[in-house]
Amino acid sequence: MLLKKLKKEIIGDDSIFKKGNKKYKMPEYCPNKHYKHLCDSDYYRALIVLRHYIKIISDFYFSEKQKAKNIDLFMFTPSISSPMGPGSDSKPVPIKFGNLKTFLVDSSQFGFEPLLLNGLEKVYCYLPSMRGEDSDKRHLNQFYHCEMEMKGRLDDLLPIVEGYIRTLAEVIFTMNNIVKKISENSEKTRRYMEVIMRTKEFPKITFDEAIDILVKNDKRELVNFTSHGNDISCEGEIELMKILKVTTPIWLTDFDRDRVPFYQKPNPKNPNKTINADLLFPPIVENSFGGEVVGSGQRQDNVNEIYESLKRQENISPKPYEWYIDLRKQPNYKTTSGFGLGIERFIAWSLGKDNIRDVILYPRIKNIETRP
């Protein structure tokens, strides 16, 4: 019902744009002049409209369709989540708040999990996350994250993620007139969205199967082999999808336990693997954005396994996470699973862009001052 209403609104919003099929050129990024471009650029006006509807449909999907509660969370925390694990490419952003040494929030997961003990089944947010690694075409130091945590196992979560992706695809498909104004690849975008909207279930491939495929196709250099587990680079993810000739996102599952965060549940059938899945997106056009857009996993529900994982992963101190471990000891604790989707990654992918900086209004890039 809301989508039908949104379609009318989207058509109505076309009135704020110039008539015709003129494409809006994206201004060349310049930190000192960026605020001026926001004042007068047709490109950014169209991007504002597109992001507006992605936010609206995200709230509708989770609050109305999934009956999840929207959570307003803190913006700094003593317990970071995403950099945990030797395979992570993320770094925390430390700050000093008075005499307190703390961190900017990198994910909402640790804020969500205690709330699910209080009688809630599903919670979600659409908030910024801050991370400290060097920025590139895939990473910003502040980006937007749509995240959800729920009671249940990964198998319960993945259909919800897929439904969200299909809903986002339908909005992008509906906004084709606006997409045309800011993308050179609107026809390919439209075709991809049609395929995703018709796909009932995305294919799955295990991490080990993916490595075997890359090695057999002489792409061994795209895998980082270590003595305590392996990683596949972003280039490896994209090459994998080329080899498989996929036209929809695919799930990459069962990562190596010692390369992912300590809170990922080990697979009972193989304790060196975890119950997790990344959703990889094939580039819409050559050299455009692709690879991981969604990360998801089932959380550790066993105290001893958590301590074991912390020790296995470069002997990480459990001190900042004792509160998190204690949740498992509460009488009303139940297993949870969750995911996060990078909003800029999804938008860059859907428009056939190659840089997520081009689809956010205020890029925050380490060591670069931007006004305002």
CATH architecture observed for domain 2-359: 2-Layer Sandwich (3.30)
- Rounded Cα gap, residues 272 and 260, in angstroms: 11
pLDDT in tens, the chain (372 residues): 566 776 667 666 666 676 667 789 999 999 999 999 999 999 999 999 999 999 999 999 999 999 999 999 988 888 877 655 665 667 889 999 999 999 999 999 999 999 999 999 999 999 999 999 999 999 999 999 999 999 999 999 999 999 999 999 999 999 998 999 999 999 999 999 999 999 999 999 999 999 999 999 999 999 999 988 999 999 999 999 999 999 999 999 999 999 999 999 999 999 999 999 999 999 999 999 999 999 999 999 999 999 999 998 877 889 889 999 999 999 999 999 999 999 999 999 999 999 999 999 999 999 888 777
- Listed residue (160, 121, 128, 159) closest to 146, CA to CA: 128
**Integer CA distances (angstroms), 347 to 33, 253, 367, in order:** 23, 24, 25
- Rounded Cα gap, residues 355 and 5, in angstroms: 32
Q: Over the Cα atoms of the chain, what is R_g?
A: 21
Element (H, E) at 46: helix 42-59
Whole-model pTM: value is 0.95
